[in-house]
Chain A
Amino acid sequence: MIRRRRPKRRSGVPAWVMALAAVAVLFFALPVIGLLWRAPWSNAWAYLSEDSALTALRLSMVCSLWATLLSIIFGVPLAWLLARVQFVGRSAVRALCMMSMVLPPVVGGVALFFALGRRGIVGQYLDRWFDLRLPFTTAGVVIAQTFVAMPFLVVTVEAALRQLDTSFEDAARTLGASRWYTFRRVTLPAIGPALAAGSALAWARALGEFGATITFAGNFPGTTQTMPLAVYLALETNPEQAIVLALVMIAISFAVLVALRDRWFIRAGNEPTRVQP
């Protein structure tokens, strides 16, 4: 009776935590296993090598990478603004910029019409003055994807900027480093892992984007039909092909997320963030 509690083996994780975590893993794994189980393996290659599938895959890659790039270009300054600059209504601005995360994507697509469509607040002038129409174009796909994806990057980077000890940056500044130099050599390396994580999240979100894309950009092979749209349409007529296409998307994003994890996240997790001035 002296030793009622044995020392736990698994680094102190209680059994019930493990059990609940296992349920969570199963919850995410089972649908993927379901797809693998129902996949028409013998015809898989034929379905994949169809022109329509390759076109959609290529378009998905190009658009989601553009959306990620735009998210970085505009999202990092936005995260900086939200994390570092005190101004009236900051919470409101932050909430506004996160809105597309909770907005049903289809509604987001309609809202983009009202903003950038042929009759939109800004879109009507793009059309009139520059003969520029975004709906039904590949640029429209990129805009729809950026709209839903960028908040994921902003949230991640903002959190990292908030946690960052500003004394390093202050030290760099007092030692005579310019603002840009400080950002490049001090801040950026410190938030690097978060930036990579945020970019990966944004990219994954953009890759899977469906609702806003089909609403705002429409669905046309080669110009606006991305993988999720192709999958959804194939589901109606050729469910087997839909499964194969979906599995390809899963495989690609899985590979990228695993690779990024090894490259960035673990390094960030194991070592405390060091900054070398």
Chain B
Amino acid sequence: MRTKRLFLVSFVAILGPLVASCGGAPDGGAKGSGGIVVFAASSLTEAFTEVATAFNGVNPNAKVMFNFAGSGELVTQISQGAPADAFVSADDSNMKKLAAVGEVAGDPVVIAKNTFQIIVENGNPQGITGLLDLANPELVVVLCAETVPCGTGAATILKNSNVTVTPKSLEDKVKGVVAKVTTGEADAGIVFVTDVKAAGDKASGVEIPTDVNVVTNYPMAVTKEAANAALARVFIDFVSASQGQAILAKYGFLAP
């Protein structure tokens, strides 16, 4: 996993400036041109890949590349000098962290919101109907560790609903919870609505009442060291406008 990330970073590091320098020729009327590298929270992988395709349809001279990873890892990478033009975090705190080290230019814009569901195996074989069922010691429940957004969210939800759960594992990332449920090793977990949707027919979701549920923000900002800040701004506007929002909604994200 670490090698894969290293490969991605070096890939972005090599290609980023290359594309930026090749595509930078002035072309008159186009809204945006050149290339940008967007560092985005991994929960946006599917949605943002589709947004980029749509963006490319409107801005044929612009090239958007992504580095998807956990928000915390992305903050570390950008602070260590990785070439990013824009950053999207899956929570406010990681965006604040990046801003605190002076790597954010301007005010972040919330481009989407997300909320939580109980993820169960496809068809819900254990008949889980709500949070109270997660307290059943017979069930194998896995949650995210509180070091990642899905973990703090799950902890708040369980506190709000006065349910005590003894998880079998505290995963380092939300996809770890998804994997344990879809492989059948765990019976249930608490993940983002978009993760349940992304798991397709391998998992089902059980609603969490809105009065105890948590809603998280996805703030996006241009980075201080952006090589192509102009195009990064155009892309953020595109994500916030109707076409970008429609794609995000399709993947289960809530409007900001």
Interface contact A237-B184, CB-CB below 8 Å: no
Does residue A224 face the partner (Cβ distance < 8 Å to B)?
Answer: yes
Instruction: Known A119-B184, A218-B142; judge A136-B72 contact (CB<8 A).
Output: no
B145 touches A106 (CB 8 A): no
In the complex, are the beta carbons of A220 and B167 less than 8 A apart?
yes
**Beyond A118-B184, A218-B180, is A232–B169 a contact (Cβ under 8 Å)?**
no
A31-67: CB near B (< 8 Å → 1, else 0) gives: 0000000000000000000000000000000000000
Identify 17 new A-B residue pairs, CB closer than 8 A, beyond the known A113-B183, A234-B147.
Answer: A104-B3, A104-B4, A118-B140, A118-B184, A119-B185, A135-B168, A136-B168, A215-B179, A218-B170, A218-B180, A219-B170, A220-B167, A224-B169, A225-B170, A233-B172, A235-B76, A237-B72
Smallest beta-carbon distance B227→chain A, Å: 27
Contact A110 B183 (CB under 8 A): yes
Q: Is B100 an interface residue (CB 8 A)?
A: no
29 contacts between A and B (CB under 8 A): A104-B1, A110-B183, A113-B183, A117-B184, A118-B140, A119-B183, A135-B185, A136-B142, A136-B169, A136-B185, A211-B1, A214-B172, A215-B179, A217-B169, A218-B169, A218-B170, A218-B180, A219-B145, A219-B169, A220-B167, A220-B168, A220-B169, A221-B170, A224-B169, A233-B147, A233-B172, A235-B76, A237-B72, A237-B147
Q: Closest residue of chain A to B148, judged by CB?
A: A236
Give the contacts of A131-145 with B (CB-CB under 8 A). Answer: 135-136
Which residues of B are found within 8 Å of A232, using beta-carbon distances? 172
B185 touches A236 (CB 8 A): no
Would you call B103 an interface residue if the criterion is a C-beta within 8 Å of the partner chain's C-beta atoms? no
Return chain B residues, CB-CB under 8 Å to A219. 145, 169-172
Q: Which residues of A contact B171 (CB under 8 A)?
A: 214, 218-219
Report A-chain residues with C-beta under 8 Å of the C-beta of B180: 135, 218
Verify if B176 is at the interface (C-beta below 8 Å from A).
yes
Complex: A117 Cα to B140 Cα, angstroms: 13
Contacts of A234 in B (CB 8 A): 147
Query: Which residues from chain B contact A237 at a C-beta distance below 8 Å?
Result: 72, 147
Is B145 within 8 A of A233, CB to CB? Answer: yes
Measured between alpha carbons, how far is A235 from B180 in the docked complex, in Å?
23
Cα-based distance from A211 to B179 in the complex (angstroms): 14
A113 touches B169 (CB 8 A): no
Residues of A within 8 Å of B168, CB to CB, are 135-136, 218, 220
* A229, B184: Cβ atoms closer than 8 Å: no
- Which A residues are CB-close (under 8 A) to B145? 219, 233
B140 contacts across to A, CB distance below 8 A: 118, 136
Nearest B residue to A124 via CB reads: B184
Given contacts A104-B1, A117-B184, A117-B185, whether A110 and B172 have CB atoms under 8 Å apart is: no
Number of interface residues of A (CB under 8 A): 28
CA distance A104 to B4 in the complex (A): 10
Chain A residues close to B by CB (< 8 Å): 104-106, 110, 113-114, 117-119, 135-136, 211, 214-215, 217-221, 224-225, 229, 232-237
Q: Closest A-chain residue to B176, C-beta based?
A: A214
| Min C-beta distance of B92 to chain A, whole Å | 15
Report the bound CA distance from A234 to B147 in whole Å: 8
Which among A118, A119, A225, A229 has the highest number of chain B CB atoms within 10 Å? Answer: A118
**A243 CB, nearest partner CB in chain B, Å:** 13
Are B170 and A220 in contact (CB-based, < 8 A)? yes
The smallest beta-carbon distance between A108 and chain B, in angstroms, is 11
Q: How far is the CB of A60 from chain B (nearest CB, A)?
A: 16
B147 / chain A contacts, CB cutoff of 8 Å: 233-234, 236-237
A183 to B72, CA, bound (A): 54
User: B179–A110 contact, CB under 8 A?
Assistant: yes
Closest to A234 in B: B147
Chain A proximity of B163: nearest CB distance (Å): 18
In order of increasing CB-CB distance, the 6 nearest A-B pairs are: A218-B169, A136-B168, A236-B147, A119-B184, A236-B72, A237-B147
Contacting residues, chain A, for B70 (C-beta < 8 A): 236
Q: Which residue of A lies closest to B183 (CB)?
A: A113
Interface flags for B170-208 (1: CB within 8 Å of A; 0: not) read 111000100110011100000000000000000000000
- A215 to B179 CA separation, bound complex (whole angstroms): 9
Q: Which residue of B lies closest to A106 (CB)?
A: B1
In the docked arrangement, what's the CA distance between A214 and B144, Å? 12
Interface string of B124-167 (1 = CB under 8 A from A): 00000000000000001010010110000000000000000001
A218 proximity list for chain B (CB < 8 A): 142, 168-171, 180
Q: How far is the CB of B170 from chain A (nearest CB, A)?
A: 5
Known interface pairs A236-B72, A237-B147; A117-B183 also in contact (CB < 8 Å): yes
Contact partners of A104 in chain B: CB under 8 A: 1, 3-4
Q: Which partner residue on chain A sits nearest B1 by CB separation? A: A106
